[in-house]
Structure formats: C-alpha cells, structure tokens
Chains A and B, each alone.
Chain A
C-alpha cells in the first residue's frame, strides 16, 4: 500500500536558520508523483512543488530546495534562511492515479514548522 511518512511532528528554529523537512514514501508503482504543500494558519493548502518519479534532479526556488532520492524513497524539503512567514504545517503527498481527470493524494501527517523571530 502507498504510504507517506513525515517523522518530524514539530520543528522550531530561529529566523535565518536553515531547516530540512523529511519525507519518506512507499509505493509499488514505477510511475508516481510527489508533492509538497504548505498550510499556514489561515487554512488554505498552498501547492509548492511536484516531482515525478523519472526526474531525480534537485530543484531550487528562491529559498526553497527539494532533494529527491529514489534509492532511499525520500523527497526532502529545505528552507534556507528561514523567515517567520515560513511558519506553517508542511505536508508531503504521494499521488495515486485513478485515471481520467482525478488523482488521490496520500498525505503524510505533516510537520509543523515554527520560526521564531
């Protein structure tokens, strides 16, 4: 069965520190997609990144970077020089295709990141 594990329940850092959020997944599919979402206190889940199983290139977007390693089934997320606005719950998710126009997201339990000023 598909599964996503985010072992870090809560992380607290001081502003400007770097922080890495871990994500480990399990799937039997050879083609799959991984996502990271951010959920600030307002409630909306904000899509951050998608990665497919064929592309192991790391990606950087501003202060955000992602490290995808198929060999260890991990898709970790690093925030460089964290800011208070980064405080949120971060979810890693694995997509389970249903065909047609739908897909089902298997979410990890989330990591609450608190960035202190």
Chain B
C-alpha cells in the first residue's frame, strides 16, 4: 500500500462545480507536490509546497487552487474546470534535505473527468 493517500480515487464533475482533491502523508515529509498526468504522457508538475509554504507554481490556471493546511495534508480546490482538465492528478511527498536528493513518493492518484 502506498504511504501517500489520495481521495477520492475517481471524480466526475461538471464545469460549474466546485470540488476538492485531498492528499495525506504520515512519513514526516516536509515537501508535497501536485502533478497532472494526461494519458500516455509523463506527469507535469503543478505546485510544490515546502514547509507548508507554496514554493513552486508552474503557471497553473487559477481554477486550480492549492492549499496546505499542515505538514501532512495537501488539498487541490477545483472550480470552473474545462474538459481538457480531465486527467489523473497525482500527489507526492519528499523528505526535507533538499538538493534534489530525496525521492518523491506518489499516491495512487485521482482520476478526474470533466463533463
């Protein structure tokens, strides 16, 4: 079983809906990540939180809003999404120490479909 837990596993929503994706880890990691992955493509980084502060935003549209309430939790709030936002959304975490040494550990992902 993965040590990074994502809920829900699947989500279908309309373009006017508001929903949230949740991610939780209890490994004591201090960096958490959101990725978007389209079919047959590698994951694309969206956001990075380091010590509960947003450190990287890869020019993601404002209809995606991340939140890190504490060091174990990461949310992604969704509003007014477009059909092209349908994808697998992956959460990951890594230990502190930086320098690119620490591997990222991924959750199972949320499969999002926008109607």
Query: Does B42 lie at the interface of the complex (its beta carbon under 8 Å from any beta carbon of A)?
Result: yes
Question: How many residues of B are counted as interface, with CB atoms below 8 angstroms from the partner's CB atoms?
Answer: 33
Residues 21-52 of A at the B interface (beta carbon under 8 Å): 31-33, 35, 37, 42-47, 50, 52
Task: Say yes or no for A99: interface residue by CB 8 A criterion.
Answer: yes
CA distance A100 to B54 in the complex (A): 12
CB < 8 Å A-B pair total: 92
Instruction: For the complex, count residues of A whose C-beta is within 8 A of B.
Output: 30
Q: Which of B55, B99, B108 has the most CB of A within 10 A?
A: B99
B48 to chain A, nearest CB (A): 5
**A52 to chain B: closest CB distance in Å?**
7
B residues within 8 A CB of A99? 98-99
Instruction: Please give me the residue from chain A that is nearest to B58 by CB atom.
Output: A104
Selecting from B11-19, B61-69, B73-81, B89-97, the interface stretch reads B89-97
Q: Flag if A95 contacts B100 (CB, 8 Å).
A: yes
Given contacts A50-B103, A104-B45, A110-B42, 10 further A-B contacts (CB under 8 A): A33-B100, A42-B108, A47-B105, A50-B101, A98-B55, A100-B51, A101-B96, A102-B56, A107-B42, A112-B40
